[in-house]
Amino acid sequence: METKAFSELFPLFNTANSETLEWLVSVAVEQEYQQEEVVITENAWGNAVYFIVSGWVKVKRSSGEEEVTLAILGRGEFFGEMAILDEPSRSTEAIALSEVKLLSVSAQRFIQTLFKDSQLHHKLLQLMVRRLRETNFRLQLHHQPPVVKLAHTLVSLADNYGKPTEEGTEIFHISDKDFADVAELDVEETRNVMSRLQSKGWVETDPRNQTMRLTNLKQLTHLAGGI
């Protein structure tokens, strides 16, 4: 991948200097995963940071005998950085939801890069603070109606990873269970809300092509902000 395309695809690197970008591209390892393939196993030692070139990944954690989906990530996102910064074993597992292409950078090389490029170090801190704010906002949604929670989840996925089309913004067709986990709902609530959004024509699903299209993102955004 060319350095320009690399920096444009991954917001983490849009302020990095050219030397940093060239070096990272040269040491990054390309990896491909099939749908449902494990990318990172829970309790494995963090030895790399992963950058999503294409496809969708879910991050999950075991809770007793159940598995809980914590986040859905798409193109341009990165993960695995927490485990290499504080060096514990990983507490979560990453699974490919679709065919996925990744670039991985070893923990040692990534940390070396942070020390060499202060702009990259600062950008990483900014993005981690953004994630913390998003987590805090999700906590504010805890007592909100299910429709508000699900709308917020849909809008967040569309804003961060959606593909604009003439018919609407396209995202991956995520299972009801994964949606329910991320939005902190039960599966039945999720199905009921999704059915209502589909009846309004705001959401269209295409399971065959594994896509979901948000046809009225403006209304969904308004609904998600209804706190």
State the CATH number of the domain containing residue 161.
Answer: 1.10.10.10
In sequence order, the 6+-apart residues with CB closer than 8 A to the CB of 149 are 141, 183, 184, 185
Average pLDDT over residues 31-56: 86
In a domain, 130, yes or no: no
Per-residue pLDDT band at 137 (split at 50, 70, 90): confident
CB atoms within 10 A of CB 122: 12
In a domain, 188, yes or no: yes
In a domain, 165, yes or no: yes
pLDDT tens-place string over residues 114-133: 888 888 888 988 888 888 88
pLDDT tens-place string over residues 8-40: 999 899 888 889 999 999 999 999 999 999 988
CATH number at residue 99: 2.60.120.10
The per-residue pLDDT for 40 is: 81
In a domain, 128, yes or no: no
pLDDT tens-place string over residues 167-180: 999 999 999 999 99
* Domain of 170, in residue numbers: 140-224
Residues 45, 92 within the same domain: yes
Say which range, 3-17, 39-53, 66-80, has the weakest mean pLDDT: 39-53
The per-residue pLDDT for 227 is: 45
Residue 217 pLDDT > 90: yes
Q: In the chain, pLDDT over 70 holds for what percent of residues?
A: 93
Triad 48, 78, 179: Cα angle to 5°: 120
The per-residue pLDDT for 134 is: 82
| Coil, helix or strand at residue 27 | helix
pTM across the whole model: 0.88
DSSP at 78: E
Residue 45 pLDDT > 70: no
C-alpha span between 121 and 187 (Å, rounded) = 39
Residues 163, 198 within the same domain: yes
Residues 185, 96 within the same domain: no
Say which range, 79-88, 142-151, 171-180, has the weakest mean pLDDT: 79-88
Written as six digits, the tokens of 204 are 């269209």
